[in-house]
Amino acid sequence: MPSHDRSRIRTLALAALFGLLAAFLLPGTSAGASAALRQHAAARGKFIGAALATGPLANESAYRDIAAAEFNQITAENAMKWDATEPSQGRFTFTGADAVVDFAAANGQQVHGHTLVWHSQTPGWVQSLGATAMRAAMREHIAQVVGRYADDPAVVSWDVVNEVFDDSGNMRTSFWYNTLGESYIADAFRAARAADPDARLCINDYNVEGINAKSTAMYNLVRTLRQQGVPVDCVGFQGHLAIQYGFPGQVQQNMQRFADLGVQVRVTELDIRMVMPRDASKDATQATYYRDTVNACLAVTACAGITIWGFTDKHSWVPDTFSGQGAALIYDENYRPKPAYTAVHDALAGGTGSDTTPPTAPGTPVASGVTATTATLTWTPSTDAGGSGLAGYTVHREQGSTDPQLGQSAGPSVTLTGLSPATRYEVYVRARDGAGNQSPASATVAFTTATGGGGGPCAVAATVQTQWGNGYVVQPVTVTNTGASALNGWTVTFALPAGHTVTGSWNATLTTSGQTVTARNAAHNAALAPGATATFGFQAGRPDGNTATPSGYACG
């Protein structure tokens, strides 16, 4: 569609929505406690956004409904990247980009254009150009893509360059840098400014959320570029975080030092992944990371807002990119809000999100009714002084660096199921409050399950899903109850070839002794009705050149 037609339709849609928008954009309008995220964000002068993918946007009404209701800012997850907008030289295609912009305009949302110059998702024809032709192609691409939306009121900002640093904070030796030198960065910003003098122009990167060597390199680059008159208006912190790596240090201070250079800052691609399987305690930790990110932005005037990289675990790049990890977003795969949603909501609402006081540690648990596969634990309740109230407890097995969760409860007692027979367990309890704060661990209690029971007739089949020079993934390993009665717990053993090491597993707990690996059910897949199956998987490393994989799978 020619761009003047696009603008006219846009104007009508905006006019129709004006009354609705005014209701929450006007100063002094306060958002009710249960209002959508976008209303609370607008009341705080911030945006709350989501990256949208064109597939579900076209095909799923639940996806569209939440995207429209909860967010006031949109980024195209892929549709505005070079491989989508100029797949071959001079042939521009905006079908996906327009679909995202039209959706945003129809719902009174602003669009952040992502991304113009990046080393990834850029067609081969660009990468193989010589210096003069590459610089010309970059300028032309920016002129066409930014130019298309320059008069479109919905599109307000752009990631002009993305990920120009490597992980240590040196210039990334991408084809851009290798062919054009560092000057491509300034050139790209100048071309974007020429194509749309009103758009806010950003530089965007990952692992720059806290104060570290890479964010300091970014800080120095932005300062230098601005001293040289290069139009850098904004710095984007992607925010691809993981609960197993800890929350970055000094996020608010980092945002503030960029703000002090005179640029706007924003969190552009927030997601907070976990090692799967998901459980209540990981959800609670994830919620605190979301809360702390939102609170950092709220505390810095120059922080414009936060974009979450998707919103539902049904559509997220994380499981495809980070092996064995997932559940990084604020809605689950069935579009149900997670504790992370509540944390973002409450932080934006300025209510219980400001509770950072964890509950006290629970009393030492007492074990009773121990059978081959079950045990009941009871403890003295925690108290919570933070104001958001106790939300529940999780029970963990003491097992070194990562302690698996065995159960959870709302009150101070739980019956654990799916335990392995004749096994010593040392367990402790943690409490969490409504804002996601976790208490310190209680003292531990040890008990040993009775022998017998639990195991039974079962069959096992294993598939090597993928392998590479020095490693492989076995998935699924399928355990089938071949007996006539229900199983409550199962064990699989197999032989690990010499020199191999198990580096990760999911949906079972693996222990290695010599060359024998024993995989025990997780709590959630212990119970198997006759004929039912459970699956788990694992990853292993092996010496370079070795092509062996495990054998001798047995189930009991």
Q: Which of 176, 172, 166 is nearest to 208 (CA)?
A: 166
Closer Cβ to ligand XIL, 75 or 264, answer by number = 75
C-alpha to C-alpha distance for 543 and 527, rounded to whole angstroms: 37
Question: Least distance from C-beta 200 to ligand XIL, angstroms?
Answer: 17
| 251-263 burial: b if 16+ Cβ within 10 Å, else e | bbebbbbbbebeb
Binder to ligand XIL among 41, 76, 77, 416 (CB under 6 A)? 77
* In the complex, residue closest to ligand XIL by CB: 317
CB proximity list for 269: less than 8 A, separation 6 or greater: 51, 75, 204, 206, 236, 238, 239, 240, 307, 309
Contact between 78 and ligand XIL (CB under 6 A)? yes
Question: Least distance from C-beta 8 to ligand XIL, angstroms?
Answer: 31
Catalytic residue status for 182: no
According to DSSP, residue 441 is labeled P
Within 482-511, which residues bind ligand XIL (CB under 6 A)? Answer: none
- List residues bridging with 273 in a β-sheet: 242
Binder to ligand XIL among 39, 162, 295, 420 (CB under 6 A)? 162
Contact between 73 and ligand XIL (CB under 6 A)? no
Binder to ligand XIL among 290, 317, 331, 506 (CB under 6 A)? 317
Residue with structure tokens 């949208």? Answer: 52
User: Considering CB under 6 A, how many residues would be counted as binding ligand XIL?
Assistant: 6
Candidates 269, 333, 398, 426; catalytic one: 269
Closer Cβ to ligand XIL, 222 or 395, answer by number = 222
Closer Cβ to ligand XIL, 80 or 347, answer by number = 80
Question: Least distance from C-beta 18 to ligand XIL, angstroms?
Answer: 32
Closer Cβ to ligand XIL, 51 or 104, answer by number = 51
Q: Which of 487, 371, 383 is nearest to 431 (CA)?
A: 383
C-alpha to C-alpha distance for 355 and 433, rounded to whole angstroms: 9
Helix (H) or strand (E) holding 447: strand 445-448
Contact between 525 and ligand XIL (CB under 6 A)? no
CA separation, residue 529 to residues 452, 464, 475, 533 (Å): 18, 26, 22, 8
Contact between 384 and ligand XIL (CB under 6 A)? no
Give the pair of three-digit tokens for residue 42: 């607008």
Site map 247..286 versus ligand XIL, x via CB under 6 A: ----------------------x-----------------
Catalytic residue status for 209: no
Helix (H) or strand (E) holding 472: strand 471-481
Closer Cβ to ligand XIL, 77 or 196, answer by number = 77
Candidates 163, 209, 333, 398; catalytic one: 163
Contact between 209 and ligand XIL (CB under 6 A)? no
Question: Least distance from C-beta 317 to ligand XIL, angstroms?
Answer: 3
C-alpha to C-alpha distance for 519 and 552, rounded to whole angstroms: 13
C-alpha to C-alpha distance for 269 and 239, rounded to whole angstroms: 6
Contact between 313 and ligand XIL (CB under 6 A)? no
Contact between 174 and ligand XIL (CB under 6 A)? no
Contact between 207 and ligand XIL (CB under 6 A)? no
Question: Least distance from C-beta 362 to ligand XIL, angstroms?
Answer: 39
How many degrees, rounded to 5, is the angle at CA 539 between CA 535 and CA 545?
135
Closer Cβ to ligand XIL, 269 or 292, answer by number = 269
Contact between 196 and ligand XIL (CB under 6 A)? no
CA separation, residue 13 to residues 25, 97, 109, 150 (Å): 17, 18, 12, 18
Question: Least distance from C-beta 271 to ligand XIL, angstroms?
Answer: 9
Within 411-450, which residues bind ligand XIL (CB under 6 A)? Answer: none
Binder to ligand XIL among 54, 72, 174, 238 (CB under 6 A)? 238
Closer Cβ to ligand XIL, 80 or 523, answer by number = 80
Question: Least distance from C-beta 117 to ligand XIL, angstroms?
Answer: 12
Q: What is the DSSP string of 356-412?
A: --PPPPPPPPEEES--SS-EEEE-PPP---SSS-EEEEEEEE--SSS--EEEEESSS
Helix (H) or strand (E) holding 15: helix 3-25
Give the pair of three-digit tokens for residue 294: 């939102």
Question: Least distance from C-beta 52 to ligand XIL, angstroms?
Answer: 11
CB proximity list for 310: less than 8 A, separation 6 or greater: 50, 51, 52, 53, 77, 271, 316, 317, 329
Task: State the residues that interact with ligand XIL by CB under 6 A.
Answer: 77-78, 162, 238, 269, 317
Which of the residues are catalytic?
Answer: 163, 269
